[in-house]
A = this chain, B = another copy of it.
């Protein structure tokens, strides 16, 4: 049985600079390292006039953040799989760095238990 945990987090009124792609990338890297996930690829994208996307591809999953600095808002997805890999640990790292005044979390568990039958 393979279990995948996904956290979908809305971060409101963030105190950090949501237009700083280096800061956001290093924050997600710290989060991935802390959770024990292997980073396979890093992708950052800066938008005009503002906004950043950072996606880290982990071993078969990802962590992503998309920001709208004009709203102080960031959309975070933490998607990890594997024994003992807890997305809450990664979320704690991002929360401390990005420092939102409030947030909303959806927790999704994906379980893969069936071998292909066809």
Contacts and interface: CB of A to CB of B under 8 A. Distances in A.
Contact of A116 (B8, B13, B55, B112): B13
Q: How many residues of A sit at the interface, in one of the four size bands?
A: 35 or more
How many identical subunits does the complex contain? 2
B10 A110 contact: yes
A105 B70 CA distance: 31
A118 B109 CA distance: 35
A53 B108 CA distance: 19
Contacts of A110: 10, 75
Interface of A is mostly: strand
B114 A71 contact: yes
Contact of A55 (B62, B106, B108): B62
Interface string A10-46: 1011110000000000000000000000001101010
Q: Which 8 A-B pairs have the closest CB atoms?
A: A72-B116, A73-B112, A71-B112, A60-B66, A10-B110, A45-B57, A53-B57, A51-B60
Interface of A: 2, 4, 6, 8, 10, 12-15, 40-41, 43, 45, 47, 51, 53, 55, 57, 59-62, 64, 66, 68-73, 75, 77, 79, 101, 106, 108, 110, 112, 114-118
